Structure 1
Amino acid sequence: MTATIISILNMKGGVGKTTVTTNISVELFNRNKRVLVIDVDPQFNSTQTLMKFFEKKLDTYFDLRDEDKTLARVFKSTNQSRGIGNSKTVATKASEASIIHTLSSNSLGGVLDIIPGDMGLIVDITDAASDKFRSFIKKNHLKDNYDYILIDCPPTWGQLTSVALSTSDYYLIPTNLDEFSTIGITLLAELLSDKVNSVDKPLKNLGVVYMFLKQNTAEDGIARDQKRFRNDIEAYFTDTMEKLVDSKVRPFDTVFYSDNYLITKSALYFDETIEKHRPDYKQKVCDLVDEIQNRLSEGSSKK
């Protein structure tokens, strides 16, 4: 077993990174895969979403945070621990491995673990962060213990995103279809080009997911006023971006639509109230994971 590491990223907020990360992780777990989610976003929305779903509350998260069992611990330059959000010193020091928190497991071998995010990530990152992160993965044999490692990145390009990509095999980009998102993809591609050329192993684009589109009845699933953005962005993929990132850049066939009910209730489409309201969204997650696994299989066959 060697885990496939996938970063989910975009420089723009509100494009569905948490939605994609959490839903993919749950569906892979439902397929009896061993999955680890690493929440690198200081807003830790994936942590909140998954803990609310599996544990129905966030009390456990606050306990883990106060015990120094979040991702922030990996980046600490000393063994001094502190409670994020307060000034008290934590008496019980956590080992690095203890930050891996199991959300669920089943008798068929499926596991869903998480390394919780932390607002402390905003200030605790140093230039040595990439070495610390890669060392943590290697020392704890994470690639040997999981089938998939999903990294939810911040909505910015900074040290945290760079750290995540340095350890990843693939990256997946959720995006909207509007003018700002189109511009954002071009800026992201230029930064990705530098990262791809700086790492010592292949870093490939897995695909682009169109998120929160306008509801419509068009045969291709794209509303008329969003088609021009789709056309522009896909022309950029083939004309420019693929050369920059040395990889095929393809949108997924599965797209997701905006729904105020879903947005206000949860980012996780497996929630029973959402499944009752919009059962088609759970099927869409299944379709997206099918596409992801097919692309990964294609990539493996070409090696």
Structure 2
Amino acid sequence: MTKVISVFNQKGGVGKTTTVVNLSAALGKKGKRVLIVDIDPQGNTTSGLGVDKRQLNSSIYDILINELSIADILVETSSTNVFLVPSNVELAGAEVELIGLNNRETRLKNALENIKDKYDYIFVDCPPSLGILSINALTASDSVLIPIQCEYYALEGVSQLMDTIKLVKKSLNKDLEVEGVVLSMFDGRTNLSIQVVDEVKRYFKGKVYGTIIPRNVRLAEAPSHGLSVMDYDPKSKGAEAYEELAEEFLEWSEEEF
């Protein structure tokens, strides 16, 4: 059974795209078929997987606004078993355009219905905002994966994020759950990182993955080459961490679902 997971945090720079790209690549290497839906107008996941945003004939915009089929837009990525519905800057206008359309909150959900059974996991990379694009993602999803960086103000905005999830659960998707919390950008040399880990674990009791993603140069370099860290430098600390996270993710995910 396919699981649809939104990767969401309305705070920018928390490792959202890094997690989408590398967790998907690690799962793909383990034989899982993964679809990534980039619903962020910045399109960082799209370029991070080596797809040129400027050369796209169609994108997620056409699915949401023009009701094109996902099958017509699908792109194969450089990562094994990982496919992509790309995004580009055109999507920025969709927030306004969607307001006047019927079923504006369920357009992504409806589009995914026809292709869901072809994949084990579908990850939706959300924009760092609480607008209609994120609402579409949360409405279409079974669960939410929340990346949080091990830095000062890590939990700032988290209660707002949880309120949004509750709101969507109440009015649009009663089955929406928190999949788990991924801690990233960890620096074991600082007390602050260690304090943040403790604080996040207290807040999200039992929902924080034991695997913590470290600060890693290779992890930061990989997107500029259009590759996941698994394909860029599989022996790096970043790649090893995402391998471990994928194993833990599968354990949790298949237990719950």
Fold-level similarity (TM above 0.5): yes
Aligned position for 1:113: 83
1:201 deviates by 4.2
1:225 deviates by 2.5
The higher radius of gyration belongs to 1
Aligned position for 1:188: 161
Summarize deviations over 1:2-46 as a string: whole Å, max 9, x none.
311111111111111111000111112112221111001111111
Distance 2:145 2:69 in 1: 31
Give the letter aligned to residue 190 of structure 1.
D
Aligned position for 2:256: 299
- Alpha-carbon contact 2:234-2:240 (below 8 Å) kept: no
Aligned partner of 1:131 among 106, 121, 128: 106
- Alpha-carbon contact 1:38-1:116 (below 8 Å) kept: yes
Summarize deviations over 1:176-229 as a string: whole Å, max 9, x none.
13332212212211222212222344111111111111243xxxxxx4223333
Aligned position for 1:283: 240
* Unmatched runs of 5 consecutive residues or more in structure 2: none
Asked if 1:231 is matched to 2:198, the reply is yes
- Alpha-carbon contact 1:12-1:181 (below 8 Å) kept: no
- Alpha-carbon contact 1:176-1:210 (below 8 Å) kept: yes
> How many residue pairs are counted as aligned between the two chains?
249
Aligned partner of 2:126 among 146, 153, 173: 153
Summarize deviations over 1:70-124 as a string: whole Å, max 9, x none.
00101225x8xxxxxxxxxxxxxx765311122258xxxx732110012111112
Distance 2:69 2:177 in 1: 33
Alpha carbons of structure 1 residues 144 and 185: separation in structure 2 relative to 1, 3 Å: same
Aligned partner of 2:117 among 144, 155, 166: 144
Distance 2:142 2:69 in 1: 27
Alpha carbons of structure 1 residues 225 and 133: separation in structure 2 relative to 1, 3 Å: closer
Summarize deviations over 1:248-303 as a string: whole Å, max 9, x none.
x511111112234542453731243x345xx2322211110111111112213xxx
Asked if 1:17 is matched to 2:16, the reply is yes
Aligned position for 1:63: 55
Q: Which moved more, 1:174-183 or 1:204-213?
A: 174-183
Distance 1:96 1:30 in 2: 23
Distance 1:271 1:14 in 2: 23
Alpha carbons of structure 1 residues 163 and 32: separation in structure 2 relative to 1, 3 Å: same
Give the letter aligned to residue 130 of structure 1.
E
* Unmatched runs of 5 consecutive residues or more in structure 1: 53-57, 80-93, 217-222, 239-248
Aligned position for 2:229: 269
Give the match's secondary structure for 1:11: coil
Aligned position for 1:175: 148
1:233 deviates by 2.9
Runs ≥4 residues deviating over 6 A: none
- Aligned identity (percent) is 28
Give the letter aligned to residue 36 of structure 2.
V
- Alpha-carbon contact 1:73-1:96 (below 8 Å) kept: no
RMSD between superposed Cα atoms in Å: 2.3
Give the match's secondary structure for 2:182: strand
